[in-house]
Amino acid sequence: MAKRILTRRQSWRIDKIQQERIARAEKREARMLDELQGGELGHEQEGLVIAHFGVQVEIEALEGDLQGEHYRCYIRANLPALVTGDRVIWRPARQGAGVIIAQRPRRSELCRPDMRGQLKPVAANVDQIVIVFAPLPEPHANLIDRYLVAASHAGIRPLLLLNKADLLDGEHGGKARELLAVYKTLGYAILDVSAEQGDRLETLQDLLRDKTSVFVGQSGVGKSSLVNRLLPDAQMAVGALSELTHKGTHTTTTARLFHFPCGGSLIDSPGIREFGLAHVDAADVEAGFIEFADFLGRCRFRDCSHEHEPGCALLAAVDSGHISSPRLESFRMLLKNIE
Ligand SMILES: Nc1nc2c(ncn2[C@@H]2O[C@H](COP(=O)(O)OP(=O)(O)OP(=O)(O)O)[C@@H](O)[C@H]2O)c(=O)[nH]1
Ligand SMILES: [Zn+2]
């Protein structure tokens, strides 16, 4: 893409347009704040972003008399973009409205490419990525490995969750049983449950407590079934969401934070469920394959493809049983996709 060189006159005009735009935004903000406060704003306090709607966010008050209540807040023009899960400082105004004053630093970010292919945060402060798979549809190790790489890249702990455990002993259970064993050996947190039969859901609830989680995984593995089990009033929450966005036009795209009755929170949206297919580079892939650490960089050839080369440290590790061959296959596939 050729960079356009601007004449002095053009760049002066652009500056002027930008200044006018900023001035307009400031005026709008001042008017809004005037309207809101009618002279009075409550004191500054901690809040949690529950959902985002254009220029407004829905926040939950985290302290004081208002704790647990939801407010519609305006975002000051000088603030960075906020996303679901952000911690903020805000001030209440009248009638369930308020103003965001500041954004707290984020512990973590989940990002997805936007329509222009640029990586944008969609959720903040997620502690755990629950990677759901099941005996049916038959799991692809490669997809699970992609999610693991993405989790490692985001610095967020993964939990591997095998749903439909009731099908494990049936004719379709073979592949899932094999994967269960592979990831257990690698030391990942892993649990098998059945959303339908309710098996081991209390153990899952324990693993969700005190954390903010997202659920990801292939279509049909039972994410909705699990969420419905864990969040009996999710339907109600979705109704409230439509009301907030007036005509409910944004209901399917914006992420929303829910509290599990048994403790812990969930951030969910169709977009978030597809997380993990975002951009990562070769170093991210290498870092995501934890059992490869001792062998990477030890191949005889620097540009080793780990397919057939003599002196390949990864192939040797497969031979000696330190790396499983499906993991190596999946590693090669991910690297190939990046190229
Ligand atoms: N046998 C069995 N079936 C289940 C279980 N959990 C969910 N299912 C079934 O699996 C199918 C898919 O479940 P969903 O919850 O819609 O899966 P999903 O991951 O949300 O799928 P998408 O919405 O396409 O992403 C449904 O027919 C469920 O009834 C389970 O524990 N055991
Ligand atoms: Zn090699």
* Residue 249, pLDDT score: 41
Please report the atom of ligand 1 found closest to the CA of residue 197.
Answer: 31
ipTM: 0.96
**Binding-site residue positions for GTP:** 163-166, 217-225
Domain map of the chain by residue range? 17-103, 126-273, 282-338
pLDDT score, position 29 = 66
Summarised one tens digit per residue, pLDDT across range 305-321 is 999 999 999 999 999 99
Look at domain 126-273 and name its CATH class.
Answer: alpha beta
Rounded to 5 degrees, what are φ and ψ at 155?
Answer: 70, 30
Element (H, E) at 190: strand 190-192
pLDDT of the residue at 27: 76
Q: Do domains 17-103 and 126-273 have the same CATH topology?
A: no
Q: Residue 221 and residue 133: Cα distance in Å, rounded?
A: 6
CATH number, span 282-338: 1.10.40
- Residue 28 pLDDT: 72
pLDDT under 70: residue ranges of the chain: 1-6, 29-30, 32-39, 234-253, 275-278
Structure confidence at residue 247 (pLDDT): 40
Ligand 1: nearest atom to the Cα of 225: 15
Select from 2.40.40.20, 3.10.20.30, 3.90.650.10, 2.40.50.140 the CATH code of 17-103.
Answer: 2.40.50.140
- What is the per-residue pLDDT for 8? 76
Convert the pLDDT of each residue in 69-103 to its tens digit: 999 998 877 888 899 999 999 999 877 889 999 99
The CA distances from residue 241 to 18, 65, 72, 260, 325, in Å, are: 34, 24, 12, 17, 46
pLDDT at 245: 44
Pocket test for ligand 1, best of 147, 225, 273 (most atoms within 8 A of CB): 225
pLDDT of 270 reads: 81
What pLDDT sits at residue 227?
A: 93
